[in-house]
């Protein structure tokens, strides 16, 4: 009972009472909205029922009292029996509907016993015993019908007789208290003997003539006999019901279950609503949601995936309705009630209970203030878990600064119990206290500055202004009073509020960017771990491949030795010795590759970058990667696999480098050098020249095929310290460089 009152209270607080009343009109009988059992199973049955057309169930009263009487072997009345018969007949009808799974297995699994099936045939569609099944009842029905005709004809003759003409008000037969009567004026007893049945408001009399009294007595006797016959049927059927009492309880429960399903499907079809199955995630994501209490609503699109939603902004801008809409979506989804939304983009989490701290709890009778009442409601929340709570105007009833600190702490503690909150407030201090929390979602109700009207839309991630002065003016407060209020309020206070809003928004934006960078770093780290894992796998595969080849080699040489034992061959032993020598050479070669330390000029790999080793200094190394020099730990460098490690190096050409020095060299010769060697020499040469303060130097590259000349020119174009360069007049093999 208490749970039912609590459900009724939350329905009223969320303005869903009209919606629920409309839904209940589709039920075959009155019952609570909630369905017991597995909600996922209920959802599957509802979805299956939504795909077919089915007959509407008959209106049936609650039969719990009748089931209790059957257990005591009581005799049910005919209308009570027919209520059960209506349920039996409806399930028989459902067996003819083309259901799909899982409905077909459920409906076909309800087998009605033969004795019960026989009872169904006793009744007409009007709920009466069919007289054609019983000769005695048939005779009684015919006699009763004929007697009624006789009464009507007798009264008709009296109404048109001359002796009553002066006393009759009209010539109609009036039914009064279930009796056929004539309406006459006073003094009628001079013309006819009759019994007064009642008196009309106009002072006339409804009379029953004595001439039809014998017909009335006959009718009474016939009806009495009929009642006895009906009672006999009721007694026999009640005895059968007692035998099948458990089946009746089962069919009564299943009828309620199907009634829940069909009412939801019929309601959704009538309103063009959608069903949303609650998800396991504590999230409310609404797309184009419309609260059923609003006639022409602005569709709400909102994503609440954190534990606290703090709604601020313009007065009368829809903050309270947003709160009620979010909680309403949870309530309707929790009980699989359909509502208007874009179902493909809507997700509603499941919560154990729904609480709404909305109304002003102040009560003179109970001697309780607004704030004290709020504290009582919050105190109850500490005994709850896994709930969603809506709090409207949280700072109501006390000093806002003190309330901000108090509510901040209480909200922190309550959310540890798995409680989510949707809170509306105008208090900037509470918003600024909670804005830095990652589990707080800030929502601002927006205001149209040009039209001076709220838009009833919302912006996530910011704090909204209250627009109290604009709202007061919009609702009729004189402009002069509003302007004076602005002066009292002060420009500094207004600026402070704007700063709070901006700083809060900036802080949240910064936190979002930091979170994004952290996520990217984690992604890079995951890729690094993945690459390292793949490298280990490749090394292991390489080791296994070498071991496999070695095993195959050993097996082959073993067979060769066995063959040589059978047939001695000098040439065979010579080839076997050569094979052993090659095997030893390859093993030494592989070992030498693995153990050869890195040296300057080696092609290396640093993390995912390819580069070249420039120099070594202790445990550090200088490398160049994509033109960028950097110093890194030597332990993090690996020799690149694309560089052959054991090869016979060709004898380098003897390059003659003659550098004339005058403090720093003024010229350098590149004759006979390779391209890479020439560029490195020029780079070092220019660096020395710059250090020594030289303003002009010469690079001697010769003419030849012009390759060195072209490379030097391209390099000098990209050097940041070169003022200009040109070929020496009369000697194209020398380039003059001005620094």
**CATH number, domain containing residue 326:** 3.40.50.300
pLDDT at 559 over 60: yes
For residue 628, the model assigns a pLDDT of 67
Is residue 469 located within the same domain as residue 485?
yes
- Residue range of the domain that includes 626: 603-639
Q: What gap in Å lies between CA 289 and CA 300, rounded to an integer?
A: 5
Is residue 320 located within the same domain as residue 462?
yes
Is residue 457 located within the same domain as residue 427?
yes
Residue 212 makes CB contacts below 8 A (sequence gap 6+) with 151, 154, 155, 180
Band of the pLDDT at 687, cuts 50, 70, 90? confident
Instruction: Give the DSSP H or E segment for 237.
Output: helix 213-243
Is residue 335 located within the same domain as residue 458?
yes
pLDDT at 527 over 60: yes
Question: Of 445, 470, 489, which residue sits at a domain end?
Answer: 489
Euclidean distance between the first and final Cα of the chain, in Å? 96
Task: Give Cα separations from 21 to 2, 180, 270, 271, 311 (angstroms).
Answer: 20, 42, 14, 14, 30
* β-strand partners of 98: none
Task: Give Cα separations from 88 to 78, 80, 95, 115, 252 (angstroms).
Answer: 15, 13, 11, 12, 9
Per-residue pLDDT averaged across 404-423, rounded? 86
In a domain, 2, yes or no: no
The chain-wide mean pLDDT, for the chain, equals: 81
Cβ contact 435:322 at 8 Å: no
In a domain, 204, yes or no: yes
For residue 620, the model assigns a pLDDT of 84
pLDDT at 121 over 70: yes
Long-range pairs for 645-648: beta carbons < 8 A, 24 or more residues apart = 645/592, 645/593, 645/596, 646/589, 646/592, 646/593
Cβ contact 259:57 at 8 Å: yes
For residue 682, the model assigns a pLDDT of 86
Question: Of 230, 246, 276, which residue sits at a domain end?
Answer: 230
pLDDT at 177 over 90: no
In tens, the pLDDT along 343-363 reads: 999 999 999 999 988 876 554
Alpha carbon of residue 105 to chain centroid? 31
For residue 123, the model assigns a pLDDT of 92
Return the higher-pLDDT residue of 445 and 286.
Answer: 286
For residue 569, the model assigns a pLDDT of 59
178: left (phi over 0), alpha (psi -120 to 50) or beta: left
In tens, the pLDDT along 59-113 reads: 999 999 999 999 999 999 999 999 999 999 999 999 888 888 899 999 999 999 9
Is residue 447 located within the same domain as residue 396?
yes
In tens, the pLDDT along 191-215 reads: 888 888 899 888 899 988 888 888 8
Residue 353 makes CB contacts below 8 A (sequence gap 6+) with 384, 386, 387, 388
Q: What gap in Å lies between CA 389 and CA 356, rounded to an integer?
A: 6
In tens, the pLDDT along 304-345 reads: 888 888 888 766 667 888 889 999 999 999 999 999 999 999
Which ranges constitute the DSSP H helices of 647-706? 675-691
Q: What gap in Å lies between CA 223 and CA 230, rounded to an integer?
A: 10
In a domain, 31, yes or no: no
pLDDT at 133 over 70: yes
Q: Which of these, 653, 656, 652, 651, lies nearest to 668 by C-alpha position? A: 656
3-state helix, strand, coil in the chain (%, to 5): 50, 20, 30
Band of the pLDDT at 649, cuts 50, 70, 90? very low
> Peptide bond preceding 102: is omega within 30 degrees of 0, i.e. cis?
yes
Return the higher-pLDDT residue of 588 and 726.
Answer: 726
Q: Percentage of the chain surpassing pLDDT 70?
A: 79
Task: Give Cα separations from 347 to 283, 292, 573 (angstroms).
Answer: 7, 18, 80
pLDDT at 657 over 60: no
In a domain, 98, yes or no: no
Q: What gap in Å lies between CA 471 and CA 485, rounded to an integer?
A: 13
In a domain, 194, yes or no: yes
pLDDT at 152 over 90: no
Is residue 393 located within the same domain as residue 452?
yes
* β-strand partners of 442: 310
Our count of domains for the chain comes to 5
In a domain, 395, yes or no: yes
- Write the burial class of residue 163 (CB in 10 Å: 0-12 exposed, 13-18 middle, 19+ buried): exposed
Residue 149 makes CB contacts below 8 A (sequence gap 6+) with none
Per-residue pLDDT averaged across 128-135, rounded? 88
Is residue 441 located within the same domain as residue 458?
yes
In a domain, 439, yes or no: yes
Q: What gap in Å lies between CA 644 and CA 610, rounded to an integer?
A: 15
* β-strand partners of 661: 665
Return the higher-pLDDT residue of 380 and 276.
Answer: 276
Band of the pLDDT at 247, cuts 50, 70, 90? very high
Is residue 346 located within the same domain as residue 427?
yes
Is residue 623 located within the same domain as residue 682?
no
Q: Any idea what DSSP says for residue 467?
A: -
**β strands within 627-669, DSSP E:** 628-633, 637-639, 661-662, 664-665, 667-669
Is residue 686 located within the same domain as residue 587?
no
pLDDT at 459 over 80: no
For residue 662, the model assigns a pLDDT of 41
Band of the pLDDT at 707, cuts 50, 70, 90? confident
Q: Which two tokens stand for residue 242?
A: 């007692």
For residue 243, the model assigns a pLDDT of 94
In a domain, 464, yes or no: yes
Q: What gap in Å lies between CA 508 and CA 515, rounded to an integer?
A: 10
Q: What gap in Å lies between CA 184 and CA 196, rounded to an integer?
A: 10
For residue 508, the model assigns a pLDDT of 57
Band of the pLDDT at 654, cuts 50, 70, 90? very low
Return the higher-pLDDT residue of 706 and 31.
Answer: 31
**CATH number, domain containing residue 727:** 3.30.1370.110
Band of the pLDDT at 656, cuts 50, 70, 90? very low
Per-residue pLDDT averaged across 426-431, rounded? 71
Is residue 434 located within the same domain as residue 465?
yes
For residue 556, the model assigns a pLDDT of 76
23: left (phi over 0), alpha (psi -120 to 50) or beta: alpha
Q: What gap in Å lies between CA 198 and CA 216, rounded to an integer?
A: 17
For residue 610, the model assigns a pLDDT of 82
Q: Percentage of the chain surpassing pLDDT 90?
A: 28
Return the higher-pLDDT residue of 212 and 388.
Answer: 388
Residue 330 makes CB contacts below 8 A (sequence gap 6+) with 284, 348, 349, 351, 354, 388
For residue 646, the model assigns a pLDDT of 45
Residue 179 makes CB contacts below 8 A (sequence gap 6+) with 197, 208, 216
Task: Give Cα separations from 235 to 76, 230, 249 (angstroms).
Answer: 7, 9, 19
Band of the pLDDT at 228, cuts 50, 70, 90? very high
pLDDT at 576 over 80: no
Is residue 364 located within the same domain as residue 223?
no
Q: Which two tokens stand for residue 220?
A: 């009474």
For residue 280, the model assigns a pLDDT of 87
Return the higher-pLDDT residue of 693 and 49.
Answer: 49
Q: What is the pTM of this model?
A: 0.59
Band of the pLDDT at 366, cuts 50, 70, 90? very low
Residue 408 makes CB contacts below 8 A (sequence gap 6+) with 430, 433, 434
């Amino acid at each position: 009972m208490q749970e039912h009152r609590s459900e009724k209270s939350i329905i009223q607080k969320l303005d869903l009472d009209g919606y629920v009343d409309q839904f209940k009109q589709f039920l075959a009988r009155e019952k609570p909205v909630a369905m017991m059992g597995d909600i996922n199973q209920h959802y599957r049955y509802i979805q299956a029922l939504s795909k077919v057309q089915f007959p509407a169930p008959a209106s049936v009263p609650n039969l719990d009292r009748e089931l209790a009487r059957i257990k005591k072997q009581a005799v049910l009345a005919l209308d009570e029996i027919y209520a059960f018969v209506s349920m039996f007949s409806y399930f028989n009808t459902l067996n003819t509907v083309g259901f799909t799974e899982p409905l077909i297995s459920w409906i076909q699994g309800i087998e009605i016993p033969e004795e019960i099936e026989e009872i169904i045939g006793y009744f007409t569609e009007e709920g009466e015993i069919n007289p054609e099944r019983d000769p005695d009842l048939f005779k009684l029905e015919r006699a009763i019908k004929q007697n009624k005709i006789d009464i009507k004809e007798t009264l008709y003759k009296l109404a048109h007789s001359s002796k009553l003409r002066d006393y009759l008000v009209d010539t109609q037969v009036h039914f009064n208290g279930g009796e056929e009567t004539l309406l006459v004026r006073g003094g009628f007893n001079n013309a006819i003997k009759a019994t007064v049945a009642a008196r009309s408001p106009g002072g006339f009399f409804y009379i029953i003539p004595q001439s039809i009294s014998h017909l009335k007595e006959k009718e009474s006797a016939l009806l009495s006999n009929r009642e006895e016959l009906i009672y006999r049927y009721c007694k026999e059927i009640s005895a059968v019901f007692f035998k099948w009492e458990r089946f009746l309880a089962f069919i009564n429960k299943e009828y309620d279950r199907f009634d829940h399903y069909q009412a939801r499907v019929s309601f959704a079809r009538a309103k063009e609503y959608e069903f949303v199955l609650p998800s396991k995630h504590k999230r409310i994501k609404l797309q184009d949601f419309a609260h059923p209490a609003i006639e022409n609503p602005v569709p709400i699109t909102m994503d609440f995936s954190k534990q606290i939603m703090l709604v601020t902004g313009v007065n009368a801008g829809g903050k309270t309705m947003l709160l009620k809409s979010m909680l309403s979506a949870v309530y309707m989804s929790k009980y699989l009630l359909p509502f208007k939304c874009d179902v493909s983009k809507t997700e509603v989490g499941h919560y154990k209970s729904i609480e709404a701290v909305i109304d002003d709890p102040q009560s003179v009778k109970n001697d309780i203030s607004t704030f004290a009442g709020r504290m009582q409601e919050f105190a109850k929340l500490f005994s709850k878990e896994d709930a969603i709570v809506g709090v409207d105007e949280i700072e109501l009833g006390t000093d806002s600064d003190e309330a901000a600190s108090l509510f901040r702490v209480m909200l922190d503690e309550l959310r540890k119990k798995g409680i989510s909150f949707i809170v509306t407030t105008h208090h900037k201090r509470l918003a600024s206290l909670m804005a830095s929390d990652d589990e707080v979602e800030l929502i601002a109700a927006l205001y149209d500055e040009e039209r001076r009207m709220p838009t009833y839309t919302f912006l996530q991630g910011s704090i909204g202004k209250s627009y109290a002065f604009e709202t007061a003016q919009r609702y009729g407060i004189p402009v002069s009073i509003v302007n004076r209020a602005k002066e009292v309020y002060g420009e500094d206070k207004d600026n402070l509020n704007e700063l709070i809003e901006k700083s809060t928004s900036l802080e949240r934006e910064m936190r979002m960017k930091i979170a994004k960078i952290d996520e990217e770093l984690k992604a890079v780290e995951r890729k690094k771990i993945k690459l390292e894992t793949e490298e280990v796998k490749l090394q292991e595969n390489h080791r296994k491949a070498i071991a496999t080849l070695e095993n195959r080699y050993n097996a082959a040489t073993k067979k060769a030795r066995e063959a040589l034992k059978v047939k001695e061959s000098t040439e065979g032993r010579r080839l076997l010795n050569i094979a052993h020598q090659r095997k030893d050479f390859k093993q030494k070669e592989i070992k030498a590759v693995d153990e050869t330390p890195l040296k300057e000029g080696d092609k290396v790999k640093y993390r995912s970058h390819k580069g070249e080793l420039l120099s070594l200094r202790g445990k550090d190394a200088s490398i160049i990667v994509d033109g960028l020099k950097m110093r890194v730990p030597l332990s993090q460098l690996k020799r690149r696999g694309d560089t052959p490690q054991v090869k016979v190096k060709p004898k380098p050409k003897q390059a003659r480098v003659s550098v004339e020095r005058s403090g720093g060299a003024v010229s350098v010769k590149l004759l006979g050098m390779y391209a890479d060697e020439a560029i490195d020499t020029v780079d070092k040469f220019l660096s020395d020249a710059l250090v020594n303060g030289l303003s002009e130097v010469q690079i001697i590259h010769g003419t030849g095929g012009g390759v060195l000349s072209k490379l030097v020119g391209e390099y000098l174009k990209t050097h940041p310290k070169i003022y200009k360069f040109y070929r020496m007049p009369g000697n194209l093999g020398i380039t003059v460089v001005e620094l």
